[in-house]
Amino acid sequence: MQVVTMQVSLSRDPVPSSWGKADVTFGADAKTPTATIHLASGDELRQIQKAARKLRTLGINQVALAGAWSLEQQWRFGQGYYCAKNDYELTWTGSESDISELKLRAACTGFARQLVNETPENLSPLVLAQSAANWLTELAPKQVTYRIIEGEALLEHGWIGIHAVGRGSVRAPALLELDYNPLAEDAPVAVALVGKGITFDSGGYSIKPSEGMLTMKCDMGGAATVTAALGLAISRGLKQRVKLYLCCAENLISGGAYKLGDILTYKNGVSVEVVNTDAEGRLVLADGLQAACESGAKLVIDAATLTGAAVMALGRSYNAIFSPHTELLSLTQQKAAQVDEQVWPLPLAPWHKDMCPSAYADTANSRPIKGGGAGGASNAAGFLWRFVSPDCQWLHMDLAAAFEDSATTLNSAGATAHGVLTVAELLKQ
Q: Global pTM?
A: 0.97
Catalytic residue among 208, 267, 316, 353: 208
Name the pLDDT band for 185 (thresholds 50, 70, 90): confident
Rounded to a whole number, what is the distance in angstroms from the first to the last CA of the chain? 49
Catalytic residue among 167, 171, 217, 282: 282
Q: Is 208 a catalytic residue?
A: yes
Listing DSSP states for 171-196 in one string gives SPPEEEEEEE--S-TTPPP-EEEEEE
Residue 371 has pLDDT above 80, yes or no: no
Helix ranges restricted to H, 240-355: 281-294, 308-314, 326-338
| Range list for CATH 3.40.220.10 in the chain | 6-94
Indicate the CATH number of 110-428 among 1.10.510.10, 2.60.40.10, 3.40.50.300, 3.40.630.10: 3.40.630.10
Q: Is 142 a catalytic residue?
A: no
| Range list for CATH 3.40.630.10 in the chain | 110-428
User: Would you say domain 6-94 falls under CATH 3.40.220.10?
Assistant: yes
Residue 1 has pLDDT above 60, yes or no: no
State whether residue 230 is helix, strand or coil.
helix
pLDDT in tens, 209-229: 999 999 999 999 999 999 999
> What DSSP state is assigned to residue 216?
G
Residue 167 has pLDDT above 70, yes or no: yes
State mean pLDDT over 353-371. 94
Residue 2 has pLDDT above 90, yes or no: no
CA–CA separation, 400 vs 403, rounded Å? 7
